[in-house]
Amino acid sequence: MTSAQAAASAVPGPLRFAQRLIAWQRAYGRHDLPWQASREPYRVWLSEIMLQQTQVRVVQAYYDRFLQRFPTVGDLAAASIDDVLAQWSGLGYYRRARYLHLCAQQVWTRHAGEFPRTQRELQLLAGIGRSTAAAIAAFCFGERSAILDGNVKRVLGRAFALPARATQAAQQRALWELAETLLPEEHLAAYTQGLMDLGSTVCKPRNPQCAACPFAIDCQARLAQHRAAALSDAGASIKPHARPAGTPVRKAQHWVLLWAEDVQAPEPRVWLERRNTQGIWPGLWSLPQFHSVTEALRRAALLGMVREQIELACATHALTHLDLQLQPLLVRLDRVSAAQEHAGQWYTLGAALDLGLPAPIRRLLQSRSRSQAPVQHADLS
């Protein structure tokens, strides 16, 4: 018997892990999420990609709107990447949108618009890893495949308390082995959804709702914490270790955003540049970014004759582990044609808002578009 199989038998009770989880999901799990109304692979795949490192409540605001614009995988495959990024704007982790677009094209050209039906084949598509492929195969085709996203790792790690391995890769292999050992023979969709629901709504990273958990009486992490607490009360030096480590220290960066406007144009035009495909906001169109006002003005001088400059109020935009302190510098100028030689382009506000823009840049331009008047402050919140 392997260590994972031994761990799988360590949780006692009248129902085995999968049976208990399925029963819990049917009684207390989530059943009204928009992507649960269909087992059509395109819709399930879209939801799985959107949900990677993104909360359900955030995805709900984008999912239906994205489907309205791209109702089928063929529509998504035929779209331009700028159109896809525009619909994705605000969801973050923009590489997902690029892989989403590429994957749709692969499904359309390699598989005649039909998603493969097995985990192994799904993993060959762009942006689909082992766990995502398993979720699609289980939900859409009933394949007996194990998932192991961050939520599932936490649920299994706490419930079974696998012993530590020498390397992270070995620990990952042990978790995959355990996940596969626990798979039921039937009701794969309910089981898979149950793991996702339990990790998202009950077995949270902080302040887990143990009283609502179907494994509360025999969760190994919870029992270990209680034993450690009892020893501590008795005067022992052992401390509980079940609490997750603290969050990483957040970093901050200060950016000056060059908001150049062409005063000669009959309607407001803004200068945008496409960002590098690496780093923050990869491949999106944005206001050029600089370390200082002086650097920004040097770039503005290459775009035209500066007539007016206004330093707008700084606002903070929070990323996962980084706070961006954004200070727009509004510069009105008489543009010169040579500016087209730079890695950017002049856009009317309407055309700019149809591009893939970072969320704070979109809000800034939307505020200008609504007012069509001289800007006195920035709206980046």
Report if residue 236 sits inside a domain.
no
Could you tell me if 255 and 352 lie in one domain?
A: yes
Single out the catalytic residue among 48, 267, 273, 341: 48
Torsion of CA 347, 353, 359, 363, to 10 degrees: 90
**CA separation for the pair 196, 135 (Å, rounded):** 10
Could you tell me if 255 and 215 lie in one domain?
A: no
Could you tell me if 280 and 210 lie in one domain?
A: no
Report if residue 277 sits inside a domain.
yes
Whole-structure pTM value: 0.76
CATH label of the domain that carries residue 122: 1.10.340.30
The beta-strand segments (E) located in 198-301 are 251-262, 269-274, 285-286, 289-290
Could you tell me if 41 and 184 lie in one domain?
A: yes
Report the candidate in 280, 374, 276, 261 with the shortest Cα–Cα distance to residue 326: 280
Q: Are 271 and 232 in contact (CB under 8 A)?
A: no
Token digits for 377?
């402050």
Token digits for 228?
């450690």
Query: pLDDT by residue for the chain (381 residues), tens digit each?
Result: 565 555 555 554 334 899 999 999 999 999 999 999 889 999 999 999 999 988 899 999 899 999 999 999 999 999 999 999 999 988 888 999 999 999 999 999 999 999 999 999 999 999 999 999 999 999 999 999 999 999 999 999 999 987 777 688 888 999 999 999 999 999 999 999 999 999 999 999 988 999 999 998 889 888 887 665 544 444 333 333 344 444 456 688 899 999 999 988 888 889 999 998 888 888 899 999 999 999 999 999 888 899 999 988 888 888 877 888 999 999 999 887 765 556 789 999 999 999 999 989 999 998 876 655 444 445 565
Could you tell me if 47 and 161 lie in one domain?
A: yes
Report if residue 238 sits inside a domain.
no
Could you tell me if 180 and 113 lie in one domain?
A: yes
Report the candidate in 269, 261, 257 with the shortest Cα–Cα distance to residue 350: 269
CATH label of the domain that carries residue 270: 3.90.79.10
User: Is 341 considered catalytic here?
Assistant: no
Could you tell me if 273 and 344 lie in one domain?
A: yes
The residue among 203, 223, 243 that closes a domain is 223
Could you tell me if 138 and 256 lie in one domain?
A: no
* Domain housing 328: 251-371
Could you tell me if 206 and 256 lie in one domain?
A: no
226 CB-near residues (< 8 Å, 6+ apart):
none
Q: Are 63 and 48 in contact (CB under 8 A)?
A: no
Could you tell me if 192 and 279 lie in one domain?
A: no
Could you tell me if 96 and 188 lie in one domain?
A: yes
Report if residue 379 sits inside a domain.
no
User: Considering its fold, how many domains does the chain have in total?
Assistant: 2
Report if residue 183 sits inside a domain.
yes
Token digits for 44?
């399930």
**CA separation for the pair 258, 286 (Å, rounded):** 9
In the chain the first and final C-alpha atoms are separated, in Å, by: 55
Could you tell me if 199 and 279 lie in one domain?
A: no
